[in-house]
Structure 1
């Protein structure tokens, strides 16, 4: 195991599968202790078991990140088990697409809740264990870097047909990222965002595979999916591990002088 993240503690939301699971594994492989979070308790338990069997340290905390008490409870559990918090990755999310003239208030609010309000609450709740601890360290001449990575999307950068709710939430997350970077940069806390393009996950798999999130079908019709991929300069979807690598980079000492940035991970696709 590498020791790049030795003894650091990370929370990764939505980490029982997909990109989040890859991120958690990378963190553990580089010496971190990880809190796995997901609504699916069985999948979360499987992830923790796999990490522990490989010699890593992990716990799970399951629940709905949009619940008003989620942030308080997961931060408390993290500190209770590991005594510190060094890395926070706001990764949990999904889509609820519809054309703007058909979007309901509930569909719009749903995307704001999970992609913008939930990350805000987690960052705010982490204040005593990230910002305040860092402030005391600096006063004592100690420098330790801490990282926050918010997972946005190219939809939040350029918009996307059928995703007014999702795009608005992800764009708002970029504003939150830049503001936290301005406020907390003086405490050696780097807050950055990754904006993913077409990554191969449940949300972008062929719709014919009948994947679902919260009981709603997700995915993209094969013909539409193929057309999107053909417009990507690299002519393929990104892999979950490739997406996770960008999050790892922004969570590691390699990015100590990168703050308030939006890291585009899209295979060169900008249109």
Structure 2
């Protein structure tokens, strides 16, 4: 079966920068049609300068996917451009600190809405389209693939990011639940959990803390910080036919850091 995504259509949220951008760019290089999605219009438009967004395999959509109507418009825009959708990657993340002993309920609600509920709603919407596309195609092993991007905070609680940790754990549970629900429809749902990856947030943290890089590297068995594209490669595997018997799993991409090093808010 191989690992090709040539000609497939992928929607990638959080594609304005960091890991989401790396995933979207990786898919373009692999020959897929890609809808870049982000709520930061300026950042997204800046990334689009290298692409033909009129006639090429790339389109972009700006909007707040926490809003149900926005998600519906995203799906419509993707179908207008490419006529189908085969892959969804929920890479949008929102991180905000909170007092573990006095967490503002609005912060927790925002973390859940941004990091879990929006992706779950979009996954449900896209899955219905995937099911419709696969009608009458009994010989097709894979009707679609969904990947949720999570964080090591899901299993290694970070007190100063209590709301974010809870949201990441909820997202991973939604990955498992959707995997079971969608398996009869030949749609696979998996996750990728990262930690010591050169994300936008980590770059900002490294600028503020001169010693943080050495702390992360010394606590990572593979002895370095991963590039965002290494997360993209893991996602590529999970959406490909090469992973056609893999569903409901959360792959950890952190160089073995979860095995050896305490997690801190600055290192996520």
Task: State the TM-score bracket (shorter-chain normalisation).
Answer: 0.7 to 0.9
Give per-residue Cα distances to partners, 1:59-97, cap 9 Å, x unaligned: 111012222322111011111221101000000113102
The alpha carbon displacement at 1:172 in A equals: 0.7
- Whole-Å separation in 2 of the counterparts to 1:93 and 1:44: 15
- Calculate the aligned-residue CA RMSD, in Å: 2.2
Query: 1:135: how far off?
Result: 4.3
Contact residue 91 and residue 150 of structure 1 kept, 8 A:
yes
Structure 2 distance, partners of 1:3, 1:195, is 21
Report 1 or 2 for greater relative contact order, CA contacts < 8 Å, sequence distance ≥ 6: 2
Tell me the distance in 1 between the aligned counterparts of 2:99 and 2:189: 32
Moved over 4 A (4+): none
Residue equivalent to 2:86: 86
1:228 to 212, 216, 220: 216
| Partner in structure 1 of residue 189 of structure 2 | 191
Q: How far 1:180 moved relative to its partner?
A: 1.1
Instruction: Say whether 1:237 aligns with 2:235.
Output: no
Q: Is 1:266 matched up with 2:254? A: yes
Contact in 2 for aligned 1:206/1:222 (Cα 8 Å):
no
The superposition leaves residues 226-257 of structure 1 with CA deviations (integer Å, 9 ceiling, x where unpaired) of 42332111232211111211111112222111
Match of 2:149 in 1: 151
Map of 2:175 onto structure 1: 177
- TM-score under structure 2 normalisation? 0.88
**Contact kept in structure 1, 2:15 and 2:38, CA below 8 Å:** yes
For 1:198 and 1:248, the matched residues in 2 are separated by: 19
Q: Point out the more displaced range, 82-91 or 15-24.
A: 15-24
Pairwise CA distance, 1:40: 2.2
Question: 1:160 Cα shift?
Answer: 2.0
Query: Cα distance, 1:4 vs. partner?
Result: 1.6
The equivalent of 2:266 in structure 1 is none
The verdict on how the C-alpha distance between 1:3 and 1:56 changes in structure 2, with shifts beyond 3 A counting, is: farther
Q: Distance in 1 between matches of 2:175 and 2:248?
A: 6
Deviation at 1:3, TM superposition (A): 9.0
Question: Counterpart of 1:60 in 2: which secondary structure?
Answer: strand
- Paired residues for 1:113-128 under 5 Å: 113-128=113-128
1:258 positional shift: 0.8
Cα 1:106–1:63 change in 2 (3 A) is same
Match of 1:252 among 240, 243, 247: 240
Question: Structure 1 pair 111/199, CA: closer, same or farther in 2 (3 Å)?
Answer: same
| SS of residue paired to 2:19 | helix
CA contact (8 A) 1:11 1:87 kept: yes
Q: Is the 8 A contact 1:3 1:30 kept in 2?
A: no
1:145 offset after TM fit, Å? 4.0
Which residue number corresponds to residue 166 of structure 1?
Answer: 164
**Is 1:63 the counterpart of 2:63 in the alignment?**
yes
